[in-house]
Amino acid sequence: MNHDIVTIGEAMLRLWVPTGERLETAPSFRVAVAGSEANVAMAASRMGARTAWVSSLPDNALGRRAAREVAQHGVDVDHISWSDEGRMGLYFIELSGPPRPVAALYDREHSSMASMSSSDVEWPVLESARIVHISGITPALSDSARSLSIDVVRRSRAAGAMVSIDVNYRRKLWEPDECAKTIAVMAEYADLLITSTEDARDVFGFDGTPEAMLRDLQGLAGTSRVVLTAGADGAFWLDGLESGSAAGYVAETVDRIGAGDAFAAGTLVGLLDGDLSGGVERGTAMAALKLGIYGDQLSVTREEVDRVIEGHSREVSR
Amino acid sequence: MNHDIVTIGEAMLRLWVPTGERLETAPSFRVAVAGSEANVAMAASRMGARTAWVSSLPDNALGRRAAREVAQHGVDVDHISWSDEGRMGLYFIELSGPPRPVAALYDREHSSMASMSSSDVEWPVLESARIVHISGITPALSDSARSLSIDVVRRSRAAGAMVSIDVNYRRKLWEPDECAKTIAVMAEYADLLITSTEDARDVFGFDGTPEAMLRDLQGLAGTSRVVLTAGADGAFWLDGLESGSAAGYVAETVDRIGAGDAFAAGTLVGLLDGDLSGGVERGTAMAALKLGIYGDQLSVTREEVDRVIEGHSREVSR
Amino acid sequence: MNHDIVTIGEAMLRLWVPTGERLETAPSFRVAVAGSEANVAMAASRMGARTAWVSSLPDNALGRRAAREVAQHGVDVDHISWSDEGRMGLYFIELSGPPRPVAALYDREHSSMASMSSSDVEWPVLESARIVHISGITPALSDSARSLSIDVVRRSRAAGAMVSIDVNYRRKLWEPDECAKTIAVMAEYADLLITSTEDARDVFGFDGTPEAMLRDLQGLAGTSRVVLTAGADGAFWLDGLESGSAAGYVAETVDRIGAGDAFAAGTLVGLLDGDLSGGVERGTAMAALKLGIYGDQLSVTREEVDRVIEGHSREVSR
Amino acid sequence: MNHDIVTIGEAMLRLWVPTGERLETAPSFRVAVAGSEANVAMAASRMGARTAWVSSLPDNALGRRAAREVAQHGVDVDHISWSDEGRMGLYFIELSGPPRPVAALYDREHSSMASMSSSDVEWPVLESARIVHISGITPALSDSARSLSIDVVRRSRAAGAMVSIDVNYRRKLWEPDECAKTIAVMAEYADLLITSTEDARDVFGFDGTPEAMLRDLQGLAGTSRVVLTAGADGAFWLDGLESGSAAGYVAETVDRIGAGDAFAAGTLVGLLDGDLSGGVERGTAMAALKLGIYGDQLSVTREEVDRVIEGHSREVSR
Amino acid sequence: MNHDIVTIGEAMLRLWVPTGERLETAPSFRVAVAGSEANVAMAASRMGARTAWVSSLPDNALGRRAAREVAQHGVDVDHISWSDEGRMGLYFIELSGPPRPVAALYDREHSSMASMSSSDVEWPVLESARIVHISGITPALSDSARSLSIDVVRRSRAAGAMVSIDVNYRRKLWEPDECAKTIAVMAEYADLLITSTEDARDVFGFDGTPEAMLRDLQGLAGTSRVVLTAGADGAFWLDGLESGSAAGYVAETVDRIGAGDAFAAGTLVGLLDGDLSGGVERGTAMAALKLGIYGDQLSVTREEVDRVIEGHSREVSR
Amino acid sequence: MNHDIVTIGEAMLRLWVPTGERLETAPSFRVAVAGSEANVAMAASRMGARTAWVSSLPDNALGRRAAREVAQHGVDVDHISWSDEGRMGLYFIELSGPPRPVAALYDREHSSMASMSSSDVEWPVLESARIVHISGITPALSDSARSLSIDVVRRSRAAGAMVSIDVNYRRKLWEPDECAKTIAVMAEYADLLITSTEDARDVFGFDGTPEAMLRDLQGLAGTSRVVLTAGADGAFWLDGLESGSAAGYVAETVDRIGAGDAFAAGTLVGLLDGDLSGGVERGTAMAALKLGIYGDQLSVTREEVDRVIEGHSREVSR
């Protein structure tokens, strides 16, 4: 089977507590699976795309848990590299509201994915995909992951796949300038570059209006297709000279983690249809829906997204 | 014992997940009992009214659960028709906030109540009541339930009980015009007709100001006593030529299901006292309190409602 | 992809409470997915077999939940018939110990599967399988399901698949003699017939030693390959003139539901390898492991089963 | 309505943790309602008897919780004395297995019930009952409760009700000789006296065979009807010169609290039918069922008890 | 070891349900430990102060739970008076939002602390402290606790400790004028007096601007150092002629209980550093953080408080 | 303060699921703190000993959690080395019964403790202790931990502390012969050597009767004081030529992890009193109590242990 979208990156077990509880004192941690690229694959699969997720996992109960949870959303997990070395990456999350930020405590060093190298990848899976998607987290994991990431975008592009990159800066993993430099290299092969306004400013030093930022990003990428997310203010896109935006939604937030990945998935699904504008619009609705759902994954149906876009009105559907 | 208020209608098991969780993935469902008329009986009982609830339930653990939970709030459940046929109606609820509507997945077909007929009813219980209350959900359940519903209002009125009808339109059960037609027949026997602004518009095609809608409703019912709810905007009433309204409350919402039933109960309690205005005021406070409590039932005391009406001020009572 | 094992049958949502709690009073029900043939597919998939599960599910959150949960264990769910009619079958379980039996309250009437007919089946999936497995529950669901079941075994056998039948008598669904008659018809096409000692006695009226029962079963089936389970006493098999048995295990029981399906899966995996004796041995270990795990599914690895068969000794592995 | 059985005594909120957890460290306590006489009323109600429970409760959320939970099982709670003074009695329970005993930490001093006096009782409810039941816990609560208890048995007997007393010695409340003396006074008015072998020995100093103990008890009571429970060994009875016993059951235990009350309820139901032997048999089955259910209450149906008595065999009923 | 801050007061077990649940119906209560002075000690300890908490506790599982939970936050609990008499104080809390107030149901009468007298106190612990802190709850508990409270402030002041008093009026414990009179006596020995605007108005009858209230308070206390809290509006202070204020924070509230204690702890930590202004600023941030954490305790690190004061910006820290 | 017992070793967060659940599928993991030497310190503290626990922990929420949980049981945690490097060790546990072993999945590599070296230790704390206790897990963590462990026993012995070693072999950490060699070196400095029968056989190759094993152990250690545990069969000891044993208990098991540490703590408490025989007896009772409590810690009081030793009889204490 050829895939519409293949993503590559690390999955972690997310051990978390809801708003009001603390990691230091909670009697139990809820368990989920997370990872930017896996999230994108799952959300895109739920929109109807044929997706695969490529990664390296330890061959133990935690690694199996990750693979099975991703598979559950319809993603092909048959191309994972199972490793006897390395551990399952973990991260601990306390959901919260202002004035306390949502705090992530990463424990992902020495993970199987951090030591994955190009020789562990089933390249035909990526090379036959319509879109290959990767985030800026993967090159930040380790030196070998950085080489792997560059290989991924280079070989995928060479094989004819469209390449999508989401900057997704993580300051607990690397410095802004390291990120900027690496993304610059990878963006040479990109057909689509997505970033948040925050990252555009903190990593690349861009500022000004969204339009200005988009033009700056266009200068960076090997493509003229760039997308800028602005949280509750929606998203903005530039495709060559064409541009547009999608308005944000009023949304009740229980868990903001994963909203960016939901957005990326929607955008990619639009890209598959040759409709970046529609993709950005869909992504914006998906990000808004994600805020109301616990966990990194956007567990919704395509119909639910459509209804949000169309703006149905009753507060209770019965 | 004669009852102040007797209600008749279906109870369902409500299997639900709180905001942020999904029916597709939650590890467990919380269990409650629900049903518009049962809710009204429970809430009215908590306000001090002597109430009974008439229904048909399957003779199994789920049916027993429903009866016992209703009994717990002080409602007389000795007049339920226990059936060897039919199943317990179920509904699955995901609480949520915008942009995702609260979604109800009904699984109530083939329920014991759907096949209840007039011969299963202990008529003296209804005929000796001061008020008999029914919602527009009951006639929507099945053909036999429609006949039963019309019998209920006709025979109760004939016996001297006041008849109260809450339109409560459910578009997953029937079409607006079917609802409108049936309510029109039933309203001939009504002493009180309650509806939401949304239903007044969607079912009857009324629009304009609340006052205009109330006058249109008056034209429909066999009585001049009509009440219109408007969510956070409060409620409006018309009794012959007299009219009035009750302001809504600022309320923190965790579960909006059942607010309409809480309102109806308050209104009926006012009606018992010959004070429709006070009832609408009480109902508005009860609906606001319901928003902050999980489950369809308004598990409060009369004192708590009084305090809301009086507007006590400290955020913490200690 | 050709499958090693394809199973066909209903899945239900299992709403359950652990030992000590009651359906009448528990504040929440845990949710799992169950169904004899789906269980067999999941357990066999975990042993390394390429499996698919064929069924009909309602196109709603509950149906999606069932499909995703089965997919999670590696089973191909792409050949499910999604139905706009029919509901999701449910069953409610109270786990318990003596003197109270584990009680199942079925609410599976009017399910999508009950109205599935031969025209809803993707026959090539079954016809290209190495083994097609069905239980005696499927023909008990409805008249159409009975026709479908007979079609399944007839067409699969005709296409060259091995046919496996597990009697799995459910007295809440049909009478013993109806079951006996239908199984007799289906067994004409069987390459393997599995039954418990209890069912052999209650449905077919067999008694005496396991060996005598096996010979009687051999007379019934279109194959000489018959297997008899005896709970804690292990299992017995007869293949032509060859015979053997596997000893049961001392096992701490938390949830006995699904042990028979785990056994069947192990036996089928043996059959794939042309090793019925090894399969029965594996199935016996799998059934013992199932007793110690909540839910209908045997969520174990092949290595864990191997270790039980080999009899490792430390109570704590660290 | 005349009642079959009226019981009088304290209810407490039971705050508890399951086996393996400790009161000192558990993150939450489960909440139930308990109290020997309330338990008897609930269990008897479930067997079909018309029951009422008389008590005094504080007029707050905890008191209301107690009344509603008792009502839920079909018991008439309209004759409770609601008090502005006194608190809700509490007790904290850690379930456990050997070598650690199930430990009860009582916090019941200053409860509303402890200060209930004869003037707070609606005597006609007791005087019109067929059976009035009280345990030895009630007179142990306070001096006023002791007077009240003696009044209860005296006035009930005088009015023609049968009086039943369950010794139920609690060493955390009083000394054995105080208990013995008080029970001796109360037993003058008893038609039935129930005690455990342990209490017969520790409180009254009886020993020897069950038969010998029963004869000694007969000497104590104002009636010749005495019953002795012996845990897993069943129960023994003596009625004038007639005697008999009921064998105990093999039972999986999750919560042994309340088994004695379940037994008493079964015995009383037999007494209602003029069949002490059948009552003791029923009580023994009810006590065995209680062991497998969390909470003080025996939440079962009469049919479930009948099935245990008849000895149905399948471990799973489906 | 000499302590920076020693507090004295009652601890209670807090049995609570989150917003949306009710004490009357919730299946379980969460368990925490609470008590104004204990809360202050815990929060101050987390800010780095060496603290001790002095109290009287019953020598049972509940008392031990209280001591251990306080110890967990680094507070010295070696100077608690363990009592064989008296019970553990309890309070039951329903968190909630408008229009329903957070309701506290106290069950603290007859507690060990209520009967603590001066002879039960290890005076050297208080006398060697830099600050001794007490709230207006302690003198409200009982007559002996009132004497004890006055002794505490008198002897501590005499020994050279700074004395801090938080008015903390509880109308369920005493009348405003009793409180006013007692605080007036205690304030003679105070180096710091803290009160809320609400209490300043309800207890002392002060009104007008915060500045006016502070001046009135100054007239009351034996010190010129007074602090006034104003909820979301922040806090105000007056130290001799110097004055200042700290702005409140926008905060998502899940549990407002304990915010005042968190504020007091921050203020005391500032006082230790001779920086009342900085203490009020820290206290305001700590109170805001408390609103987003379940339980009476402020389970945060000093770094988290610093980050709030400095105003870091990203909503998610990763 | 001088300590009675100081232990040194790693603590881990224990993320666990109860019997019947699986790490692969459980929706949440319960969280506890564990580590052999920390467990011993906590259990000994609960018996009244003044204890400290020395370790290295990462300075984050997980490390703080560990320290606070240990402190809660009265252990002095002021001598922990807080590290900016290294992670919190984790282990994942599935409780279970036969035929499935309790499986521990360790994720403790790269922990702060694994890189602790002698220069991180506050030696005076160990040197002033009456007993210093360490298990064979600590030297197995890393090369530096092995050096540290040998330093610990050498320097403590030299300073006059009694040295206690519990072999505690973990085959997931090292090979039997490595363990044997290291223990042989450390045992030169030991005043007490504890091992299980299993480890005596698997690590040292000893067999025969307990007495024979004890004599072989005596040959190994620098002391004549050796103790051998035999699970449900109790424990055996040899002190010079004196010897004895303690019978095991019938115990209901919910969590067997930590029973060995509970035993060691009891033995050490006996050693403090110069009563090895009494210590072994106490340890045996403590191990039996641990089996019935979730978590690695023995959360009991000294009185509860005494009651088990004395053999009180009622199953319910009330």
Instruction: Output the DSSP codes for A131-177.
Output: EEEEETTGGGS-HHHHHHHHHHHHHHHHTT-EEEEE----TTTS-HH
Amino acid identity at E214: L
For E42-56, how does the pLDDT look when each residue is reduced to its tens digit (9 = 90+)?
999 999 999 999 999
For C61-81, how does the pLDDT look when each residue is reduced to its tens digit (9 = 90+)?
999 999 999 999 999 999 999
Beta bridge partners of A131: A5, A162
Q: Six-digit token pair at E44?
A: 């101050």
Cβ-defined contact of F65 to A92 (cutoff 8 Å)? no
* Mean pLDDT across B18-26: 97
Check if A252 contacts B (Cβ < 8 Å): yes
Closest CA in chain B for residue A294: B20
Distance from CA of A255 to the nearest CA of B (A): 8
Is the predicted pLDDT of residue D313 greater than 60, yes or no?
no
Among the listed residues B255, B261, B296, B306, the single catalytic one is B261
The number of angstroms, rounded, from the C-alpha of B266 to the middle of its chain's C-alpha atoms is 11
Model ipTM value: 0.94
Write out chain A residues lying below 8 Å of B198, CB-based: 314
C-contacting residues in B 18-77 (Cβ below 8 Å)? 22-31, 60-62, 64-65, 68
Tokens 């004695």 correspond to D260
Check if F299 contacts A (Cβ < 8 Å): no
Confidence of residue C306 (pLDDT cuts 50, 70, 90): very high
Phi-psi label, residue B177: left if phi above 0, alpha if psi -120 to 50, beta otherwise: alpha
Mutate to test the interface with B, among D45, D68, D299, D304 (most CBs of B within 10 A): D68
pLDDT at residue D223, as a whole number: 77
Nearest to F294 by CA among F74, F60, F4, F19: F19
Distance from CA of F257 to the nearest CA of C (A): 8
pLDDT at residue B315, as a whole number: 63
pLDDT at residue A315, as a whole number: 63
Tokens 């020897």 correspond to D208
Confidence of residue E183 (pLDDT cuts 50, 70, 90): very high
Within 8 A by CB and 6+ apart from F2, the residues are: F50, F128, F129, F130
Check if C241 contacts F (Cβ < 8 Å): no
Closest CA in chain F for residue E303: F60
Report d(CA E282, CA E190) in Å as an integer.
21
Cβ-defined contact of B19 to A317 (cutoff 8 Å)? no
Closest CA in chain A for residue B102: A316
Among the listed residues A261, A273, A275, A296, the single catalytic one is A261
Check if D97 contacts F (Cβ < 8 Å): yes
Beta bridge partners of B92: B15, B105
Task: Say what percent of chain A tops pLDDT 70.
Answer: 97
For A15-57, how does the pLDDT look when each residue is reduced to its tens digit (9 = 90+)?
999 999 999 999 999 999 999 999 999 999 999 999 999 999 9
The three-state secondary structure class of F1 is: coil
The three-state secondary structure class of D103 is: strand
Is the predicted pLDDT of residue F13 greater than 80, yes or no?
yes
Write out chain C residues lying below 8 Å of F260, CB-based: none
Residue D140, CA distances (Å) to B64, D50, D265 in order: 36, 27, 21
* Mean pLDDT across A257-271: 98
Write out chain D residues lying below 8 Å of F251, CB-based: 97-99
pLDDT at residue E314, as a whole number: 54
Beta bridge partners of C223: none
> Could you tell me the maximum CA-CA distance found in chain D, to the nearest angstrom?
54
HEC letters along chain E:
CCCCEEEECCCEEEEEECCCCCCCCCCEEEEEEECHHHHHHHHHHHCCCCEEEECEEECCHHHHHHHHHHHHCCCECCCCEEECCCECEEEEEECCCCCCCEEEEEECCCECHHHCCHHHCCHHHHHCCCEEEEECCHHHCCHHHHHHHHHHHHHHHHHCCEEEEECCCCCCCCCHHHHHHHHHHHHCCCCEEEEEHHHHHHCCCCCCCHHHHHHHHHHHCCCCEEEEECHHHCEEEEECCEEEEECCCCCCCCCCCCHHHHHHHHHHHHHHCCCHHHHHHHHHHHHHHHHCCCCCCCCCCHHHHHHHHHCCCCCEEC
For B69-87, how does the pLDDT look when each residue is reduced to its tens digit (9 = 90+)?
999 999 999 999 999 989 9
Distance from CA of C38 to the nearest CA of B (A): 18
Give phi and psi for C151, each to the nearest 5: -60, -40
pLDDT at residue B229, as a whole number: 97
The residues of C assigned a catalytic role are: 261
What mean pLDDT, rounded, does chain E reach? 95
The three-state secondary structure class of F270 is: helix
Write out chain F residues lying below 8 Å of D198, CB-based: 314
Amino acid identity at F197: T
The three-state secondary structure class of F100 is: coil
pLDDT at residue C43, as a whole number: 98
Lowest mean pLDDT among D16-20, D273-277, E218-222, E306-310: E218-222
Report d(CA D33, CA B108) in Å as an integer.
33
Write out chain C residues lying below 8 Å of F104, CB-based: 316-318
Cβ contacts from A onto C, under 8 A: 16
- Report the residue from C25, C28, C60 with minimal CB separation from B29: C28
| B265 neighbors B229 (Cβ within 8 angstroms) | no
Confidence of residue F222 (pLDDT cuts 50, 70, 90): confident
Check if D99 contacts F (Cβ < 8 Å): yes
Other C-beta atoms closer than 10 Å to the C-beta of E138 total 28
For D177-220, how does the pLDDT look when each residue is reduced to its tens digit (9 = 90+)?
999 999 999 999 999 999 999 999 999 999 999 999 999 999 88
- Report the residue from B68, B94, B110 with minimal CB separation from C24: B68
Write out chain D residues lying below 8 Å of C100, CB-based: 289, 292, 300, 304, 308
Report d(CA F39, CA F70) in Å as an integer.
8
Distance from CA of B250 to the nearest CA of E (A): 7
Write out chain D residues lying below 8 Å of C172, CB-based: 318
Beta bridge partners of F149: none
- Report the residue from E249, E292, E300 with minimal CB separation from A20: E292
Amino acid identity at C212: A
Q: Cis peptide before F99, with omega less than 30 degrees from 0?
A: yes
Residue D193 half-sphere exposure toward CB, CA atoms < 13 A: 30
Is the predicted pLDDT of residue F314 greater than 60, yes or no?
no
- The alpha-carbon radius of gyration of chain C (Å, integer) is 18
pLDDT at residue B1, as a whole number: 64
Among the listed residues D261, D273, D275, D306, the single catalytic one is D261
pLDDT at residue D179, as a whole number: 97
Is the predicted pLDDT of residue F125 greater than 70, yes or no?
yes
The residues of E assigned a catalytic role are: 261
Distance from CA of F145 to the nearest CA of A (A): 20
* Mean pLDDT across E106-115: 96
Write out chain C residues lying below 8 Å of B94, CB-based: 61
Cβ-defined contact of B20 to A294 (cutoff 8 Å)? yes
Cβ-defined contact of B318 to E100 (cutoff 8 Å)? no
Nearest to B299 by CA among B136, B69, B104, B66: B69
Mutate to test the interface with E, among F42, F72, F301 (most CBs of E within 10 A): F72
HEC letters along chain B:
CCCCEEEECCCEEEEEECCCCCCCCCCEEEEEEECHHHHHHHHHHHCCCCEEEECEEECCHHHHHHHHHHHHCCCECCCCEEECCCECEEEEEECCCCCCCEEEEEECCCECHHHCCHHHCCHHHHHCCCEEEEECCHHHCCHHHHHHHHHHHHHHHHHCCEEEEECCCCCCCCCHHHHHHHHHHHHCCCCEEEEEHHHHHHCCCCCCCHHHHHHHHHHHCCCCEEEEECHHHCEEEEECCEEEEECCCCCCCCCCCCHHHHHHHHHHHHHHCCCHHHHHHHHHHHHHHHHCCCCCCCCCCHHHHHHHHHCCCCCEEC
* Mean pLDDT across F294-318: 85
Report d(CA B90, CA B65) in Å as an integer.
12
The residues of F assigned a catalytic role are: 261
Q: Can you spell out the DSSP letters for A88-106?
A: -EEEEEE---TTSPEEEEE
Residue E265, CA distances (Å) to C69, C296, E69, E80, E228 in order: 50, 53, 18, 20, 14
Write out chain F residues lying below 8 Å of A65, CB-based: 23-25
Label residues F165-179 b or e (16+ Cβ within 10 Å = b). bbbbbbeebbeeeeb
- Report the residue from D98, D171, D257 with minimal CB separation from F251: D98
Confidence of residue E156 (pLDDT cuts 50, 70, 90): very high
Closest CA in chain F for residue E70: F72
Is the predicted pLDDT of residue C317 greater than 90, yes or no?
no
A215 vs A317: which has the higher pLDDT: A215
* Mean pLDDT across F199-214: 95
- Domains, chain F, in order of start with CATH, read 5-317 (3.40.1190.20)
Report d(CA B213, CA B197) in Å as an integer.
8
- Report the residue from C251, C294, C304 with minimal CB separation from F98: C251
pLDDT at residue D85, as a whole number: 85
pLDDT at residue A220, as a whole number: 83
